[in-house]
Amino acid sequence: MFESKYSWQAPEGNEETVRSLAGELSVSPLTASLLASRGIGSREEAGRFLNGNLEALHDPYLLLGMDKAVPRILQAIEQSEHILIYGDYDADGVSSTSLMIYFMRHLGASYDIYIPHRSNEGYGLHNHALDWAHQQGVSLIITVDTGISAVEQIAYANSLGMDVIVTDHHEPPEVLPNAYALINPKQPGCPYPFKGLAGVGVAYKLAQAVLKEPPVEWTEIVAIGTIADLMPLTGENRILVSRGLECMRHTSFPGIQALMEVSGFNMGAVTSVNVAFGMAPRINASGRLDHAGSAVALMTTGDMEEAQQLSHALDELNKERQQVVETIVEEALIQLQDKMINGSVPDVIVLAGEGWNVGVVGIVASKILERYYRPVIILGIDPETGMCKGSARSIPGLDIYEALTSCKELMDHYGGHPSAAGMSLSRDQLPAFEEALNLFAAQVMSEEDYIPVIATDGEWKLSDVPLSVIDEMDMLAPFGMANPVPKLVFRGTRLVELRKMGKEGKHLKLVFRQGETRMEAVAFGRGDLADLLEEGMTLDILGEVSINEWNGSRKPQLMLQDMKITGTQVFDLRDAKEPWKEVQRIYDIISPHMRLDHRQIAAVFNPLLESSPKIQLNDCSLWVYDNKAGISAFNNAANTYGADHITTLFMVHVPDSVDQLDALLASFKNLSNLFLLHSGRNKEEQLTIPSRDQFKLLYVLLMRMALEPIREQEALARLSQQSSSTLRMVTMMMDVFEELAFVERRDGNIVVIPKPPKRELSSSMHFTKLGSLAEMEQHLVYEGTSQCTRWMISRLEGAS
């Protein structure tokens, strides 16, 4: 059984609503179902969701603190005060700062900007920056995407005679700063109806309050920051991002145009997915490896030549960032192995390393979370100061902001959301920090929380998604957080074509059939699964449907997200050059799909062929073939856990007999996955199922050459040549003759008995074993994949 990587969560049943929406909106049942699963239950709600416009935005003065902030800004403009825009270094912070620059230019303000350096300064307001601002004559500071936790720093700014207006969207702490005005929809007592604004969304609301109708093209900047910061694309965010993407398709901003070009997608068809995976990483790269100021310069330049230079510089930084991430991930995984006791991953993974670039630790955390599905904190350690700066990424079962709050006394600073956060602390506090987080997780999380779940949009047929329905589903765009790209389940599909594609075969191209409908599918980054799939298999699949356009042709295509193969599975990986390395490689591929722990994995081998296997898997049970018992335990894990828990077995060598194979299958009663890694035998050693004619011919040849005793090795070699049977076959046939008393073996010679007793071949145990062994090896060693795996599955099912 090849489990899905995720547990597929079906939407709640709402058949009546679906029928009603399908009829009232004249849409397909699939589109109606997608609307219903997103909480839309009526024609009116559907209209607001599908056709929302800027006029539907909430009154910005509903934001607590807006009534104080607007007059103060207007006063600063009237009195030509010098204003400081204080931003953050991520894509939301860059977007927020860029939007405020356009806002300041629009107002004709005197202003400066300040964005801290991620590695040298870290997140948030800093007193040295406030000192600099004071020296520049700043009397009003407006923070964007930061400030809600800066209690001490804002108190310090107040002492210098500077007013601070905070615009932020992060979770407010228990104690709020004494700012001139606090604008954050999440702060206690704020009546604003929509709490999901990004930092740039809050900044936009400030501009809306002052200008009433900000230039519509500013929504392009709002869209970038909102998508990049993974804010929910519902409510106001949906309106702002929809309008922003529409404007972006004919943008007048040189920086945005250049960024789209270097990201490699068509400006006229830009989507939220393009922004998330093309533009946002390049904007973030500036703050991760350099300074976010270069991204702000790109977003706010009016010169196309400068925009192109800056965009290409960001593209190179992004490539460098990818390499840095890959290096840290490798080092972090090695460190994690030392923390794993008996193969068990900690409830909360905390890893720290000297020299790890703090600008990319969040990405590293995401990659390790994806691999182990655990909350992950990655910290870079400054070897000179001993200070650690890090980022956390969490799973739905653990609110990481709440978890950090439970041990806040161990950190110098922290902040963030339920799913992501940042923190800084002393190196000396790391052990206590890790222990405290794991204790908290043990109290609030259950076993179910560690099973990755993916929300689906129900089970459908391939025939339910023709081109017309896929086009219709685009009405629900833009897709993103809280309005994800629809993920559809198709059960009982047949895999009819399979091949690797792309550089080094990293991706898969597949074709599935269900009934009369065929659909192509692409699985990016899953070329490693090619060894585990076989044409003709029946699979349940989960994917996102889209349209593949090529040379004027349009056809449905599935972006494969997950798959499941039900029933017992045999995987043909015979003739692996280094089978023990192959065991490790395959385990790394399959472990997310089979939800394995160390008690469920075993490998069996022949101790005469390999005395001490080289395997890295922690506590993998090792078993050996045994002439007496069939199989026996080889290591402590096998003795400790036994065979009852084993579901996945790696067969490194072929059994020496059918009895050993039967003993193996009888011992592993719960086996559902068998990986064949053994070498194919040389044709010179092949056995054939023996016939009476073969034995008759061999006996006649033997009589001719053995009128007198003959050396056995000489006789076997000559008999093999004259009978066209392998030496191994002739040797085993001689065992039959000896058992039936046709010959005797004396002192290395073979002596033919002149008048042997009359006995049937079938009465010989050696004859029966030879036939069974030849049949087993024919299937296991010499036949093709489909015949081999079918035969082995029949044996497995017969043993169960």
The CATH number of the domain holding residue 310 is 3.90.1640.30
Total domains in the chain come to: 5
Give yes or no: residues 203 and 257 share one domain: yes
**584 part of a folded domain:** yes
Give yes or no: residues 196 and 86 share one domain: yes
Asked which of 453, 474, 496 is the last residue of a domain, the reply is 453
Identify which of 111, 10, 3, 125 has the alpha carbon closest to the alpha carbon of residue 457.
10
Give yes or no: residues 131 and 15 share one domain: no
The token duo for 549 is: 């356009």
- Give the CATH number of the domain where residue 705 resides: 1.10.10
Nearby residues of 92 by Cβ (< 8 Å), 6 or more positions away: 145, 198, 199, 200, 225, 226, 228, 229
Give yes or no: residues 261 and 384 share one domain: no
pLDDT of 680 reads 66
The H-or-E segment that residue 787 falls in is: helix 785-799
Question: Is the pLDDT reported for residue 681 higher than 70?
Answer: no
**798 part of a folded domain:** no
**327 part of a folded domain:** no
Give yes or no: residues 657 and 695 share one domain: no
What mean pLDDT comes out for the span 264-270?
91
Higher pLDDT, 243 or 641: 243
Q: Tens digit of pLDDT for each residue in 274-296?
A: 999 999 999 999 998 899 999 99
Give yes or no: residues 592 and 674 share one domain: yes
How high does pLDDT run on average in the chain? 92
Q: Tens digit of pLDDT for each residue in 343-354?
A: 688 999 999 999
Give yes or no: residues 418 and 500 share one domain: no
The token duo for 470 is: 């896929």
- Distance (Å, whole) CA 437 – CA 389: 16
Q: Tens digit of pLDDT for each residue in 247-257?
A: 999 999 999 99
pLDDT of 616 reads 65
Asked whether the beta carbons of 490 and 514 are under 8 A apart, the reply is yes
Q: Tens digit of pLDDT for each residue in 455-497?
A: 999 999 999 999 999 999 999 999 999 999 999 999 999 999 9
Give yes or no: residues 273 and 406 share one domain: no
- Distance (Å, whole) CA 53 – CA 51: 6
Give yes or no: residues 114 and 222 share one domain: yes
Q: Tens digit of pLDDT for each residue in 589-616?
A: 777 666 666 778 899 999 888 877 777 6
The token duo for 382 is: 């400054």
**334 part of a folded domain:** no
pLDDT of 636 reads 87
Q: Tens digit of pLDDT for each residue in 46-63?
A: 999 998 899 999 999 999
pTM of the predicted model, to two decimals?
A: 0.79
Give yes or no: residues 366 and 302 share one domain: no
According to DSSP, the β-strands at 749-752 and 743-746 are antiparallel
Asked which of 564, 598, 619 is the last residue of a domain, the reply is 564
Instruction: Using pLDDT thresholds of 50, 70 and 90, give the confidence band for residue 535.
Output: confident
Q: Which of 73-82, 166-175, 703-712 has the lowest mean pLDDT?
A: 703-712
**436 part of a folded domain:** yes
Give yes or no: residues 94 and 215 share one domain: yes
Q: Which of 157-171, 242-256, 743-757 has the lowest mean pLDDT?
A: 743-757
Phi-psi sector, 232: left (phi>0), alpha (psi -120 to 50), beta: beta
pLDDT of 416 reads 81
Provide the residue type at 395 as one letter.
I
- Distance (Å, whole) CA 512 – CA 466: 15
What mean pLDDT comes out for the span 324-334?
95
Torsion 445-447-453-455 (CA) sign: negative
pLDDT of 800 reads 54
Asked whether the beta carbons of 590 and 2 are under 8 A apart, the reply is yes
**328 part of a folded domain:** no
pLDDT of 301 reads 98
The token duo for 687 is: 């056995």
Query: Hey, how many other C-beta atoms are within 10 angstroms of the C-beta on 175?
Result: 8
Half-sphere exposure of 674 (CA within 13 A, CB side): 28
The token duo for 155 is: 């108190």
Question: Is the pLDDT reported for residue 694 higher than 60?
Answer: yes
What mean pLDDT comes out for the span 36-42?
92
Q: Tens digit of pLDDT for each residue in 132-161?
A: 999 999 999 999 999 999 999 999 999 999
pLDDT of 342 reads 64
Nearby residues of 794 by Cβ (< 8 Å), 6 or more positions away: none
Which residues constitute the domain of residue 136?
57-316
**331 part of a folded domain:** no
- Give the CATH number of the domain where residue 602 resides: 3.40.50
Question: Is the pLDDT reported for residue 565 higher than 90?
Answer: no
Give yes or no: residues 448 and 462 share one domain: no
pLDDT of 785 reads 86
Q: Tens digit of pLDDT for each residue in 99-119?
A: 999 999 999 999 999 999 987
163-167 β-sheet, strand order: 110-114, 82-86, 138-144, 163-167, 181-183
What mean pLDDT comes out for the span 645-673?
90
- Distance (Å, whole) CA 670 – CA 596: 13
Provide the residue type at 542 as one letter.
L
What mean pLDDT comes out for the span 449-455?
90
**325 part of a folded domain:** no
- Distance (Å, whole) CA 478 – CA 245: 8
pLDDT of 440 reads 97
% of the chain residues with pLDDT over 70 = 98
What mean pLDDT comes out for the span 562-569?
86
Question: Is the pLDDT reported for residue 22 higher than 70?
Answer: yes
Asked whether the beta carbons of 731 and 723 are under 8 A apart, the reply is no
- Give the CATH number of the domain where residue 28 resides: 2.40.50.460
pLDDT of 238 reads 97
Instruction: Please give the distance of CA 388 from its chain centroid, rounded to a whole number.
Output: 27
Q: Tens digit of pLDDT for each residue in 616-641?
A: 665 688 999 998 888 999 988 899 88
The token duo for 537 is: 């298999």
